[in-house]
Amino acid sequence: MKEEEVVPEETPKPKSKKSLVILGIVVAIIALLLVGWKYLAQAQSDSATLTVGSGQSQINGSEAKTGRTLKDGDSVKTLPSSNATVSFPEGTEIRLDENTEIKINSQGQNISIFQSVGKTWSRVINLLGVVDYEVKSSGLTASVRGTAFSNEVTGDKTNLDVDEGLVSAAGEKDKATIEAGKGVDSELGQRLTKRAIRKEVLESTWFKKNRDRDQILLEKIRKRAGSPLQLIKNAREVSPSDIAKLRGLAARFGSGGAMITEAQADQIESLDLQSPSGIARALAIIDPQNFSDTRHWSRVISTIFPLIERFGVEKVLQQ
């Protein structure tokens, strides 16, 4: 009986150095894209957060700590010798002096706050071009789109002072536009009284302290956003399915379920992997089923990974 010939198994060819290098770069880019997304997660959130400056603050009557998120209908109150700040995702802040209480009626693109008592300072940052912001009291509604103003409520009286921009003030009987350096007094059932900001207000610790904090806030946002806040605006174009696709590709690489062929490595090598469009084309070469729309993925990458454009892939990989 003829002995069956045993054919030896073919030894797999080792991956070339080029394909392994390209694979390493692509994996690192995908990982950093996901890290960049975490940075933008807060920008996409519609939830405000509380920062307790000193003393004690309450949310809905219970003691609250820094970092608490706020939902529509929540009330924030500061106790004696206390202060707090409510920060909205796009950068807008409302700062509460002691013995102050506000209620957040709505958030997102239309922020509405009711102030029942005390003193607040609003620094409105209109990043998206569509955010409406208003603070209501018993006899006055102040509406703005990008400004800074102080608002003090005592019983049925409201005193509003505008430090920057314009505020549209609406009382029970009339309306007025309040410019920077001006103020308005309101009392329930009475007409509005427009005036200049009083000297004692301009020289007060409250006014000076909040002006300084405004400058710190604006500088912080400029540094964080890079090219004037377009980053946060674009972040709203990134969908959960985009992030799921990136995570899925990263998982396949991590498990060995996805590799880069010699032909793909040759194509990717010719691309500019320091630009969003180059990275988008590389993703399309590796996984055309999920990343074929290179124009869309260029926008996504520009949004969630500014490090690539700013530092280049080589420097990022050294970190």
Give the pLDDT confidence score for residue 313 in this predicted structure: 43
Residue 212 inside a domain? The answer is no
Whether 197 and 53 map to the same domain: the answer is yes
Least reliable range by pLDDT among 98-102, 135-139, 301-305: 301-305
Whether 264 and 163 map to the same domain: the answer is no
pLDDT of 206 higher than 50:
yes
Q: What is the Cα–Cα distance from 286 to 249, expressed in whole angstroms?
A: 9
pLDDT of 201 higher than 70:
yes
- The domain boundary, picked from 154, 182, 205, lies at 205
Q: Which residue range(s) make up the domain with 26?
A: 17-42+237-318
Predicted confidence band at 10 (pLDDT cuts at 50, 70, 90)? Answer: very low
Least reliable range by pLDDT among 3-7, 62-66, 199-203, 219-223: 3-7
Residue 228 inside a domain? The answer is no
List, in sequence order, every residue forming a beta bridge with 106; answer none if it has no partner. Answer: 112
- The domain boundary, picked from 185, 205, 225, lies at 205
Give the pLDDT confidence score for residue 307 in this predicted structure: 46
- The domain boundary, picked from 161, 182, 205, lies at 205
Q: What is the Cα–Cα distance from 272 to 313, expressed in whole angstroms?
A: 10
Q: Are 185 and 165 in contact (CB under 8 A)?
A: no
Task: Identify the helix (H) or strand (E) that includes residue 211.
Answer: helix 205-225
Average per-residue pLDDT for the chain: 80
pLDDT tens string 56-109: 999 999 999 999 999 999 999 999 999 999 998 778 899 999 999 999 998 876
Whether 100 and 246 map to the same domain: the answer is no
Phi, psi of 237 (to 5 degrees): -85, -15
Give the pLDDT confidence score for residue 176 in this predicted structure: 95
Residue 124 inside a domain? The answer is yes
As a whole number, mean pLDDT of residues 14-36 equals: 65
Whether 104 and 166 map to the same domain: the answer is yes
List, in sequence order, every residue forming a beta bridge with 111; answer none if it has no partner. Answer: 133
Q: What is the Cα–Cα distance from 187 to 156, expressed in whole angstroms?
A: 6
CATH number of the domain within which 59 lies:
2.60.120.1440
The number of folded domains in the chain is: 2
Whether 125 and 107 map to the same domain: the answer is yes
Whether 271 and 122 map to the same domain: the answer is no
